[in-house]
Structure 1
């Protein structure tokens, strides 16, 4: 039986206006009524995920900042994974010359050094405003807690960043294209998938008791955990190839989960009852 649904937010559960549609809300209610727990796994901050929880109207586990933080469904903090301060400074210095919107993610705050028209457009996609930190390099030298670097801009430039990171510190970081114009840089071995495994151990669940929904490269680490992996039909072909199923909406995936559980609950043919 599937006992936990794990859903990405942007491009998966949320629509283009950062809302959960009535169709998805109705499906989430059905899953909740069937006793299936929910985990929201996103590159967004935990505070942003909490806003989505309020919208859907029931509790959920939270894997935020691409796996850097885990919270239980009652809000209890479970785990965090941050950059080593020296490595965070090295990442920052390697990024200096690239013309991109650069976010420094620290728990429940996204810092930015310089405000621009490009950063204003990115900020409009967020639930919370950026915090300007003009001397970020000094902040890193004084141990600014950092869980993730998010870079936004042209894909060609993002691919250049990937090559630079691989060349200099490829064995110390994880690199995820999490949107068509977005690159996330994480500490090594920190991902949605690695944190989901920690959560499953805490809950005493097996991989076959979980279903995962996602649409981006940062969701692939979750797909590899369970046989019940669902990629959105609009996802990149390489992402879709890593999932067991393709769906057009989270509600479609939830119906698949409910049907799966119903089949398992039916008595086998020929059984005496």
Structure 2
């Protein structure tokens, strides 16, 4: 019996317009009635997730910044910040890669260089709030804890950014590719999957009682700790191989449809209660 569900956001739970399914509030209420825990696991930062979910956020567990920050209702957030020297080293390397823009993701704010072109800024706005454009040199002086460094390359991170980042930092840090234009750098051992495993231990839930949904490489670690692991139909083929099942695409409301099918919930009843 399912006791824990963890879902990615972009390309998974959210539709093509970055909106929640209309049935989500009613589904959340039904899961709460059945004593099933729902965790939102995203590369997005805390402020963006809280803004998107509004009042519903009070009932959810958030695995933010790919696991670098975990928030549970009524508990203090747990976060893992990068060492200052690592931040300087990444900034130094990015300064030699003109198409790779570093985005420093703090607990409260987001920072990126003011010389980023409009296309990059528009891409950052799709996923982040509370951001500050600053001179590149000011990135070195950021005072608040930095939980992860997101790297944006509009030509594609897998081909143009990942090789150099992985060569320099791959053995010391977690460096998942999280989208066509994005990859992230976090402390070693900090992943969505590690956060889900911590929840399993805390709640006394086994992988056989866990369902996960994802669409990109930063979701693979979640798929590996759940018997009910789903990759979205829109996920790349190499990601789908890590999941035990395939869910309909995010544009087809695949997460809600799959949860309803597995748990025996009628979609029509959710629509009536929205």
Bigger mean CA offset, 151-160 vs 166-175: 151-160
Partner of residue 88, structure 2: 89
The 3 A distance-change label for structure 1 pair 245 and 236 is: same
Matches within 5 A, 1:123-202: 123-126=124-127, 128-134=129-135, 135-139=137-141, 145-156=145-156, 158-202=158-202
- Cα deviations by residue, 1:183-236 (Å, 9 ceiling, x for unpaired): 112222111111221222222222222111111110000000011111110001
- Paired with 2:227 and 2:261, the residues of 1 have a C-alpha distance of 13
Partner of residue 268, structure 2: none
Bigger mean CA offset, 232-241 vs 98-107: 98-107
Matches within 5 A, 1:180-259: 180-248=180-248, 249-259=254-264
Partner SS state of residue 166, structure 2: helix
The alignment covers a number of residue pairs equal to 257
Q: Is the 8 A contact 1:149 1:185 kept in 2?
A: yes
Normalising by structure 2, we get a TM-score of: 0.85
Q: Is the 8 A contact 1:2 1:211 kept in 2?
A: yes
Q: Is the 8 A contact 2:157 2:180 kept in 1?
A: no
- Paired with 2:264 and 2:21, the residues of 1 have a C-alpha distance of 22
- Paired with 1:185 and 1:133, the residues of 2 have a C-alpha distance of 20
Q: Which runs of 4+ in 1 moved over 6 A?
A: none
The 3 A distance-change label for structure 1 pair 22 and 133 is: same
Q: Is the 8 A contact 1:175 1:185 kept in 2?
A: yes
The CA RMSD over aligned residues, in Å, is 2.2
Bigger mean CA offset, 53-62 vs 244-253: 53-62
The 3 A distance-change label for structure 1 pair 158 and 104 is: farther
Larger radius of gyration: 1
- Paired with 1:205 and 1:256, the residues of 2 have a C-alpha distance of 21
CA drift at 1:255 = 1.8
- Paired with 2:68 and 2:147, the residues of 1 have a C-alpha distance of 6
CA drift at 1:67 = 0.2
- Cα deviations by residue, 1:161-182 (Å, 9 ceiling, x for unpaired): 2221232222112221111221
CA drift at 1:72 = 0.9
| Long gaps (5+) in structure 1 | 261-273
Partner SS state of residue 15, structure 1: coil
CA drift at 1:60 = 0.6
Normalising by structure 1, we get a TM-score of: 0.85
- Cα deviations by residue, 1:88-132 (Å, 9 ceiling, x for unpaired): 211111111221332111113210121431233114313524212
- Paired with 1:93 and 1:69, the residues of 2 have a C-alpha distance of 25
Partner of residue 271, structure 1: none
- Paired with 1:165 and 1:210, the residues of 2 have a C-alpha distance of 33
Q: Is the 8 A contact 2:101 2:151 kept in 1?
A: yes
Partner of residue 267, structure 1: none
Bigger mean CA offset, 165-174 vs 16-25: 16-25
Partner SS state of residue 141, structure 2: helix
2:43 equivalent to 1:38: no
- Paired with 1:45 and 1:257, the residues of 2 have a C-alpha distance of 30
